[in-house]
A and B are shown apart, each in its own frame.
Chain A
Amino acid sequence: MDKDFINENKTIEEIKNTFHSAEAKLQRKNRIIVKLRSDLIPPFLSYAKNYLSFDHLAHFSCVDWIEDNQFELVYILYSYEKNIIAIVKTRIDREKAEFVTVKHLWRQAETFEREFHEMYGINFTGNNRLTEFILEDWDDIPPMRRDFDTMQYSKENFYTRPGREDAQDVREVITKKSGEKIPDFAKEFSVRKLK
């Protein structure tokens, strides 16, 4: 396998030699994954752009790892010269969601960061355009955080269109026909949650 991906493995070697704590590995043809400590991200991205020819920030996304109390930032870089995609991942604290901007490397990062500020509540120092983006007058916790209850929010803020009151509960309809009486202690185990 090593012989097949000379370019990829060479890049991985270079990364490991420069950033000793980086976890870099081949994912598949033309694709490598790099995991890094968050404080090494600005120097690493600068190095990747200027020395490894990863000219292009193709995508930038965020994952809410609520169980680990962390956010994961994922930078997807592309090198035209090498024809390699580098997926660069790092984790930051979820409680104190702060990171540094990379807009000086790629202008489009500014807009991604603006989105994460609004959707996840992450503050990017150095980015002075963290203003309202696509949500208008948002007054709840950032909606892409996994602890945001979409259904609850929808019920509190929007009215239900009339005309749906005749909806039936399947389990209730069947118990009514058969005469089955579900004891109270079992009701919470009804998948369909009897009222």
Chain B
Amino acid sequence: MAINLKGIVSPYNALKQIGRKPHTVQYPFQKKEAAQRYRGFHYNDLEECIGCGTCATICQNEAIDMIFIDGFETTSGDSGLRPRVDNGRCCWCALCVDSCPTGSLSLTKDYLHVSDDPDTFLLVPGLDNPEGKENLSWISNGNSLLDYQRIPMPELEGKERVKSFAEVVLGYSEDQARAEAARCVGCGICTDNCPVHMHIPEYINAIARGDDEMAVKIIYDNNPLGETCGKVCTRRCEEICAVSKRGEPIAIRWLKRYATEKAKNKDILKEIVNPTILPPNGHSVGIIGAGPGGLTVGYYLALRGFDVTIYEAKDHAGGMIMYGIPKYRLPIDSIDKQIEYMKSIGVKILFNTKVGKDISFNELKQKHEAIYIGIGFEVPYKLGIKGEDAEGSIQAINFLRAINSEKHVEIGDKVVVVGGGNVAIDAARVSRRLGAEVTILYRRRVEDMPADWEEIEGAEEEGVIIHPQAIPLEIITDENNKVKAIKYANAEMIPDPKGGRPRPKIIEGDEHIIEVTSVIAAIGQEADYSFLPQEVLESIEIKRGRIVVNEYQQTKLPWLFAGGDIANRRADAISAIADGYRAVKGIEMLLLNKEIKNGGRLN
């Protein structure tokens, strides 16, 4: 019998494989590496995430919930919520990742989850799998569904602008506005930063849906100067826009402008807003100053049936928005339209009536049950240097007021503006329009300027020279006491040991002289409280030039309310409007609620 030698030996051939790398995966000691772009479990960078909830909104399976987790609270720019994924419902389509504005949400290569408890399918990405960070596969770079580019606002060119006071910003067309509104993810995080808390996602959504009239109605719900804000708001909302984390924020201000401009005159505006005006309730309120704050108080109190009278020292309403903001930013027609609309719903405005001169404060006190003061900061600070009283040395506020009243101001052809706020930039850009060469001297660096960056850029485009770190020393005059030149010194920035912003320090000997025809000072303003009787001044509290108020803008005197620049440090229209809106609530509580004790103090 022949032995089948081959049959015996062959199986041992397999031994030659010993020591070779196997082709199989030694699970569970080894894990199979998933594909490069595998869509497995979520990972969320909890610090980057702002809790906008776009992932939860877009999820087609309703697999994502927004929940509070330890260590995160609702703050400005962060809802404090974080997504939790029900992996029993998730289909790993990655729409949530592709629409995440911050890019914090990703998918990982991990795909194994073994448990006999079905409730463990709920996972908070990032919290439950911190190791996922090392294993990202699907991230929202490059394949985002969001549009990070803003629709550019059409503007006049710099060279065209300086020829006249024509409005610089031309406004969105309908298509542009719809496209810009469609970029919004509707999270509403922005509303927290708005002093008035306007209903931003709602009116932007209305514009996106093509319902501009509804947008106007929503805007007027808590802001009676929507068009003004649409043109000149300091738009703190855009600073925390969810889309701004990685791209340009939604042009919230320009969309508001687009919607409100749809109402061409006061009648159309009234028809669109169609506010409910309550019947007279017999209460009377006096308002001193027809600035944005005073007008807001007047508008909403009038709607609620109060008899309101605004006392305005000048011949036009608007306060700083009328006399401070140049007309190339806010045309007078636009202000007039808004004021006329307010009058048409019952707000009474007495012009050329200065309290303390044309009518006494005590007279007001007798006429009205409550008084709101919104007089603003009208008195400019002085530079406090030699030669300041010379002819040709003027204050920016007075200058802008004169120009906006269409008066002629002689500034010559070489102007120096001192200061770095919006008022300084306004004065500089107005001077350019009057044909002068303009240099701005500012104590600190350009990045320290309190003015809007858009305003600074606009000024530079129009040929304004900005000279930072320059401190004026003296205004040099000629024999007729006319401004001839300004002497300034360059400064270096000294870091603040306490961690505050660096302070400028004059470099000894580094002094220069510029020949000028005018010097315009724009270093701040303060209020003039001289119209208030002594006993009122003694009863209320004034701290660093501002009246101390509570959350309803109520002063220490229960019947006296104050708001705007004289009560807040923000110095913008929207804060004054917010103050007015709060005062409306306070005055309503005070006069309509009989049960208020504590002598009428509201808190």
Contact A173/B221 with A178-B192, A189-B202, A191-B201 known, Cβ cut-off 8 Å: no
A11-26 near B? 1/0 per residue, CB < 8 Å: 0000000000000000
Q: Which chain B positions have C-beta within 8 A of A190? A: 186, 188, 201-202, 205
> A4 within 8 Å of B by Cβ?
no
Chain B's interface: helix, strand, loop or mixed, by majority? mixed
Q: Which residues of A contact B202 (CB under 8 A)?
A: 182, 186-187, 189-190
Q: Chain A contacts of B221 at CB under 8 A?
A: 183, 186
- A161 at the binding interface (Cβ < 8 Å): yes
Query: Nearest CB to that of B193 among chain A residues?
Result: A178
Let me know if B203 and A189 touch, CB within 8 A: yes
- Find out whether the CB atom of B218 lies under 8 angstroms from the CB atom of A186: yes
Inter-chain CA distance A170–B189, complex, in Å, is: 8
B81 contacts across to A, CB distance below 8 A: 168, 170, 173
Tell me, in angstroms, the Cα distance from A67 to B224 when the chains sit together: 42
Stretch of B62-70, B415-423, B439-447 with 4 or more beta carbons under 8 angstroms from chain A: B62-70
Q: Tell me, in angstroms, the Cα distance from A174 to B202 when the chains sit together.
A: 14
New contact pairs (7) apart from A167-B84, A175-B197, CB-CB < 8 Å:
A164-B65, A173-B81, A176-B74, A183-B221, A187-B202, A189-B202, A189-B218
Looking at the assembled complex, report how far the CB atom of A137 sits from the nearest CB atom of chain B, in whole angstroms: 22
**Per-residue B-contact encoding for A161-172, CB less than 8 Å = 1, 0 else:** 111101111110
Q: Is A37's CB within 8 Å of the partner chain B?
A: no
Residues of B172-199 contacting chain A, CB below 8 A: 184-189, 191-192, 197, 199
Q: For the complex, what is the distance from the CA of A182 to the CA of B188, rounded to whole Å?
A: 11
Answer yes or no: A96 CB below 8 A from chain B CBs: no
B339, CB-defined interface residue at 8 Å: no
- Whether A43 is near chain B, meaning CB under 8 Å from some CB there, is no
Q: Contact between A180 and B122 (Cβ–Cβ < 8 Å)?
A: no
B88 at interface, CB cutoff 8 A: yes
Q: A163-B119, A168-B81, A191-B205 are in contact. Are A177 and B74 (CB under 8 A)?
A: yes
Report yes or no: B197 in contact with A185, Cβ–Cβ below 8 A.
no
Q: Does B45 contact A (CB under 8 A)?
A: no
Name 11 A/B residue pairs within 8 A (Cβ), A-sorted: A168-B65, A168-B66, A170-B79, A170-B81, A173-B66, A174-B189, A175-B197, A176-B74, A180-B199, A186-B203, A192-B53
In the complex, how many residue pairs between chain A and chain B have their CB atoms under 8 Å apart?
104
Residues in B neighbouring A187, C-beta threshold 8 A: 202
- Of A162, A177, A183, chain B has the most CB atoms within 10 Å of the CB of A177
Q: Nearest Cβ distance between residue B117 and chain A, in whole angstroms? A: 11
Give Cα distance in the complex from A185 to B219, angstroms: 12
The answer, yes or no, to whether B52 is at the interface (CB within 8 Å) is yes
Which B36-78 residues sit within 8 Å CB-CB of chain A? Answer: 51-53, 56-57, 62, 65-68, 74
Chain B residues near A134: list those with CB within 8 A: none
Nearest chain-A residue to B205 (Cβ)? Answer: A189
List chain B residues, Cβ under 8 A from A189.
201-203, 205-206, 209, 214, 218
B residues 113-133 near A (Cβ < 8 Å) are 118-119, 121-122
Complex interface: chain A residues within 8 A of B66 (CB): 167-170, 173
A164 to chain B, nearest CB (A): 5
Contact of A191 with B122 at beta-carbon distance under 8 Å, contacts A170-B79, A174-B74, A180-B191 already known: no
Report, nearest first, the 5 A-B pairs whose CB atoms are least far apart: A191-B186, A167-B65, A170-B53, A180-B197, A189-B202
> Out of A178, A185, A191, which one reaches B57, CB within 8 Å?
A191
B80, CB-defined interface residue at 8 Å: yes
Q: Tell me whether B86 is interfacial, beta carbon within 8 Å.
A: yes
Distance in angstroms from B102 CB to nearest chain A CB is 14
Determine the distance from Cα of A130 to Cα of B218 in the docked complex, in whole angstroms: 54
B217 contacts chain A at the CB level, 8 A cutoff = yes
Q: Which of A123-175 contact B (CB under 8 A)?
A: 151, 161-164, 166-171, 173-175
Inside 8 A of A177's CB, which chain B residues have their CB? Answer: 74, 192
B52 / chain A contacts, CB cutoff of 8 Å? 170
Instruction: Find out whether the CB atom of B191 lies under 8 angstroms from the CB atom of A178.
Output: yes
Which residue from chain A places its CB closest to the CB of B219 in the assembled complex?
A186
Within 8 A of B (CB), among A103-141: none
CB distance from B322 to the nearest CB of A (A): 28
A161 x B86 contact (CB < 8 A): yes
- Given A161-B119, A189-B214, A191-B201, A175 and B188 touching (CB < 8 A)? yes
